[in-house]
A and B are shown apart, each in its own frame.
Chain A
Amino acid sequence: METGGSSESPVETKKPKSKTPRKPKESALKQKSPAEFFAENKNIAGFDNPGKSLYTTVRELVENALDSAESISELPVVEITIEEIGKSKFNSMIGLIDRERIDEALYDDFETAKAREKRLAKEARVQEIQAKNAALGKKVKEQVAIKAIKGRGEASFYRVTCKDNGKGMPHDDIPNMFGRVLSGTKYGLKQTRGKFGLGAKMALIWSKMSTGLPIEISSSMKGQNYVSFCRLDIDIHRNIPHIHLHEKRDNKERCHGAEIQVVIEGNWTTYRSKILHYMRQMAVITPYAQFLFSFVSDTSDKNVSIKFARRTDIMPPVPLETKYHPSAVDLLLIKRLIAETSKQNLLQLLQHEFVNIGKAYAERLIGEMGPDFSPKMLVKSLTSQQLVRIHQLFRQAKFDDPSGDCLSPAGEYNLRLGIIKELHPDMVATYSGSAQVFEGHPFIVEAGVSVGGKDVKQGLNIFRFANRIPLLFEQGADVVTRTALKRINWNSYKINQTQDKIGVFVSIVSTKIPFKGTGKEYIGDDISEIASAVKVGLSILKNFSRLLEIYRLTALRLQTSIQQCCIQLKSKIVKKIQAREQQERKRNLSKYIPDATNAIYEVLKEMTHLHASKKRRYEDKDAELLSKVSARLITKDTLREKLAQHVEQVDYEMALEYATQSGVKEEPRENIYLQLLEAEKDFIDFHGPVFVFRLFQ
């Protein structure tokens, strides 16, 4: 959770009711707050239905937690717990008394006499069949309990808790960070995980819509001797936080980080696999983090508890904030930059607010703009026509490509470790491309291909990541999927596309990957009016198509990346096939001995019959053999033994040949990571280029 320069954290929000929000004058024209807009269009943020909402809530909280820990270079430890809350428990939580139904027929799930008759008949039939099966001694699998008919309004509620060891949040900023949609400070140009400008707030809006319960946050920053505790909900109409409790408590353990707890309506049954997939893929792309995921419910057999252990302590660097590339800006953005800049004149603006424009180049650009431009002219005095001219020139002029230095890819090493850690594949290959540019935004594609592994289904398993978060939905149309399916000839790499368990991992990082849902770059922090809210909605759509465009551009890149991985794998696979052949040769060769010898022997036997009955004449040499067969000097077993001997000999020769060819060399082993038993650091590392000097205290 970022707090950088939270300029917008007015203290008066502590008693928000007293202050009327800044509203333009009253008129028939109705206005909506951004919170209202998102409450009504919650699907664009991934809150389409209760199940998806549960999923999105989990991922928003996890991603926030990771960001928070990474921002202080702390190896992330994230605990996420989903607790199922039954209806009566929920009612007692909100202080509602459970009422017995009095008028049964009033309810939607009321069983009419006719329906009951039908049901009883069906149950009787089932029992009859079971009895029959039992009598026949058939093993019947446990009859699935007939599902209770779920009536309308029978919602399931969940308490989602996420605890991290991150940076924590400043005490006074907490209400605004959660209770005001589209507030935040990280709207700069930077590779970021994603939706968190909106995410936690959307979870709060959803909880308010579905349960009415507030969100609870406790947070502590490094070196603080207290824990900030805050219970709040959001005033959707005014887009301001509504605080129930905001206090400082004792921090006995001296830990840092945040714990967020929210009670929402959800659907665990249908989104269970999605959530678990998400956690697993997250563990793949962030092997340096430790995740503890647990699901708790009243029925203990549904409980899930998974620990995704840390596998490395090397973290990718924190992505740097960068300035805009001239070819990446639009008119609106130029206006905003001018409004925000501290630079006085045009020359300084060009030189300092954009990348890849030096002083000399800025002067050339200004010269090109026309006679009514000059280097010393004040930026605030630029007319809209002039801005359009600047924009046009930015579009047409040639600029150096932005460098990928500001990006923080997962890294080949981490990607590889993640794959090994979570999938335990037989083989893995990874590849990292160099930075490429699309519309002024740099991007890096990394890819991995694995073969085999546990819990991997046969065929292609595709794992997509954008800015180091997993993408789970709408896989079919995705270009990664299409590339892997159509443009890669797996056969030529000795990989069987339908039989082998193939994992394809593609990670794209960029300063601008607009996700389906919310694209944060376009949501300015000054937006508080409806007009802009609608624009947000539009830009979201635009972003989505942009994402596809990026993908299309990267398709070729992807193809080469995946192919690179396959080439690496091919030599491994060939070796492996040889080794396997080595092991299985004798078994395979011996397997067919009975079939082959039987067939030959049967023909011989037929011949002896014919020979004996004088139906056919055979040559002397053949006749000799046949008489041996009829005298049982040569039997089925003789042939079998002789062939087995031959196989033995061939096997020995080939093993010898293999050994001389391949030598005793074996595959290089993977380094293993031993987790520290005690996380506490009581030493100092001095890193030299060739050694590490560790000083224990």
Chain B
Amino acid sequence: MSDKRKRRRPDPDSDSDTRPFKHLLKPDTTILSSLRTLASSSAAASSSKTLTLSDLRLSAACREVSDLPPSAVQSAIESLAVSLARSILSGQGFSFTVPSRSSANQLYVPELDRIVLKDKTSLRPYSSVSTVRKTTITTRILHLIHQLCLKNIHVTKRDLFYTDVKLFQDQTQSDAVLDDVSCIVGCTRSSLNVVAAEKGVVVGRLIFSDNGDMIDCTKMGMGGKAIPPNIDRVGDMKSDALFILLVEKDAAYMRLAEDRFYNRFPCIIVTAKGQPDVATRLFLRKMKMELKLPVLALVDSDPYGLKILSVYGCGSKNMSYDSANLTTPDIKWLGIRPSDLDKYKIPEQCRLPMTEQDIKTGKDLLEEDFVKKNPGWVEELNLMVKSKQKAEIQALSSFGFQYLSEVYLPLKLQQRDWL
């Protein structure tokens, strides 16, 4: 990187533009060519066949779910219902065998670079005070899913909750059981015909079809296109982008969309506005798999930023049973990294001290396998925990609102500064 700096050419704007590091920027064509090499190497790398769990022959048995057609889900529920009815009629009450989704039952597989679920299960009997509620909710959800499959319609999690508010009491309960049901039936959550409300948005050099309509994401205005909840209706992805930019926050996304960053450097910009939902994760994976583009992530420089990054990359513990479909391999951490705070001289007043909780989360993350496998990440995280400082993407606004899109990101790309 240092020799690159030596080769920098005088910038005619450097006198008028006082923004730091602006003078380091080379013309866009140079940056673009470096991006092109990245894109082609990424395409070459991902052309090799992706590993699956069965290829590995792990010692511990693991549980994975697959996409099932509605009829298969339906018959699975039906045979379950018959067995439950038999059990009741024989005077035994009834119980479910639910795969455990606790953190003790999770396994990080480095070869796959994602979290998978081990095969521990727990019994959920009706006739126990501690599980009676959950068991009842599970039967109720099974019934509702059965109806959905029968009619082959999609509803949102909220819809599902409102069908029996009195029993479910609050949505977290019905949502949790929904994941249990996925595990019991052995299908992905989308196969249950239940989707989450739209949360993620995408903008940039992407054309795809949503339920038959062609969508051009460069012509979606400033807000971009909401990522459709039913990934099975998305297809025909086409793009001339060189990379996908994953943004943690809505604010940074808006800045980039308004500045039409994707026209200067052809890219696709995606955000899930915080913790990613299933639809965004599925969409990102689909883009990566079909377009074979490198994914660069722009997250806050705090433990939660890295956590969000890890959810895209390795999956969440809550939905590890479906990590095969939800994770996007090989996401690069572009920024804002703890080392950037000093490198880009972000002023003290824009940095925040980490709370005790933050530091604890940071230290916990250092213990996680998916962080450990990347020495660069460990180094950055160590630096964060040691300096006890965090900064949001917005901290860059201290150099002007457009610093992010006009200086920081181009410079980062030019220096190929990602991990």
User: Interface on A for B, CB 8 Å cutoff?
Assistant: 581, 584-585, 588-589, 591-592, 595-604, 606-607, 616, 618, 622, 625-626, 634, 638-639, 642-643, 645-647, 649-650
Contacts and interface: CB of A to CB of B under 8 A. Distances in A.
Contact of B93 (A585, A634, A650): A650
B58 interface: no
Interface in B129-176: 129, 132-133, 135-136, 139-140, 142-143, 146-147, 150, 164, 167
15 contacts: A584-B129, A589-B132, A592-B132, A592-B135, A595-B164, A596-B139, A600-B81, A600-B143, A603-B77, A603-B146, A604-B82, A616-B75, A625-B82, A638-B89, A650-B127
B114 to A, nearest CB: 33
B313 to A, nearest CB: 33
A607 B89 CA distance: 18
B129 A622 contact: no
Contacts of B135: 592, 596
A328 B132 CA distance: 63
B88 A646 contact: yes
The 6 A-B pairs with the shortest beta carbon distances in the complex, nearest first, are: A599-B143, A603-B81, A646-B93, A592-B136, A650-B127, A599-B139
Contacts of B86: 625
A646 B127 contact: yes
B79 to A, nearest CB: 7
Interface string B167-194: 1000000000000000000000000000
Nearest to B79: A622
Nearest to B71: A616
A633 to B, nearest CB: 11
Nearest to A650: B127
Nearest to B90: A642
Interface of B: 75, 77-79, 81-82, 84-86, 88-89, 91-94, 126-127, 129, 132-133, 135-136, 139-140, 142-143, 146-147, 150, 164, 167
Contact of A600 (B75, B84, B91, B150): B84
Nearest to A642: B88
A596 B78 contact: no
A646 B91 contact: yes
B81 A607 contact: yes
A597 B82 contact: no
A585 to B, nearest CB: 5
B82 A595 contact: no
Given A585-B129, A589-B132, A606 B146 contact: yes
Contacts of B79: 622
Nearest to B167: A595
Given A595-B140, A596-B139, A588 B91 contact: no
A491 B89 CA distance: 40
Nearest to A626: B82
Contact of B92 (A588, A601, A618, A646): A646
Nearest to A622: B82
Contacts of A645: 91
B136 A589 contact: no
A600 B127 contact: no
Contacts of A596: 94, 126, 135-136, 139-140
B186 to A, nearest CB: 18
A589 B129 contact: yes
A606 B140 contact: no
A600 B139 contact: yes
B89 to A, nearest CB: 6
Nearest to A646: B93
Contact of A639 (B75, B89, B127, B140): B89
A606 B136 contact: no
A603 B91 contact: no
A595 B133 CA distance: 10
A176 B53 CA distance: 93
A603 B142 contact: yes
B185 to A, nearest CB: 13
A595 B126 CA distance: 12
Contacts of A602: 143, 146
B302 to A, nearest CB: 23
Nearest to A638: B89
A639 B87 CA distance: 10
A647 B93 contact: yes
Nearest to B93: A646
A645 B88 CA distance: 10
Contacts of B93: 643, 646-647, 650
A418 B92 CA distance: 52
Contacts of A585: 129
Nearest to A581: B129
A600 B95 CA distance: 12
B129 A600 contact: no
Given A595-B140, A646-B91, A646-B93, A600 B132 contact: no
Contacts of A607: 78, 81-82
B127 A597 contact: no
Contact of B88 (A592, A603, A643): A643
Contacts of A595: 136, 139-140, 164, 167
Contacts of B129: 581, 584-585, 588-589
A280 B411 CA distance: 69
Contacts of B88: 597, 600, 639, 642-643, 646
A552 B81 CA distance: 61
A159 B91 CA distance: 75
A588 B129 CA distance: 7
A589 B77 contact: no
B91 A599 contact: no
Contacts of A598: 143
A606 B77 CA distance: 12
A581 B91 CA distance: 23
Contacts of B139: 595-596, 599-600
B416 to A, nearest CB: 46
A52 B167 CA distance: 50
Nearest to A603: B81
A652 to B, nearest CB: 11
A589 B93 CA distance: 11
A112 B199 CA distance: 58
Contacts of A625: 82, 85-86
A591 B129 CA distance: 11
Contacts of B140: 595-596, 599
A642 B127 CA distance: 12
A616 B135 CA distance: 28
A588 B132 CA distance: 8
Contact of A647 (B84, B89, B127, B142): B127
Given A600-B139, A607-B81, A625-B82, 9 more contacts: A595-B139, A595-B167, A596-B126, A596-B140, A602-B146, A603-B78, A643-B88, A646-B126, A650-B93
A281 B121 CA distance: 53
Nearest to A648: B127
B113 to A, nearest CB: 36
Contacts of A642: 88-89, 91
A639 to B, nearest CB: 5
A601 B142 CA distance: 12
Contacts of B142: 599, 603
A591 B143 CA distance: 19
Query: Which of B77, B94, B147 neighbours the largest number of chain A CB atoms within 10 Å of its CB?
Result: B94
Contacts of B143: 598-600, 602-603
B346 to A, nearest CB: 32
A623 B342 CA distance: 72
Nearest to B136: A592
A517 to B, nearest CB: 36
A647 B88 CA distance: 11
A564 to B, nearest CB: 25
B358 to A, nearest CB: 17
A623 to B, nearest CB: 10
B191 to A, nearest CB: 17
Given A592-B133, A592-B136, A599-B143, A606 B150 contact: yes
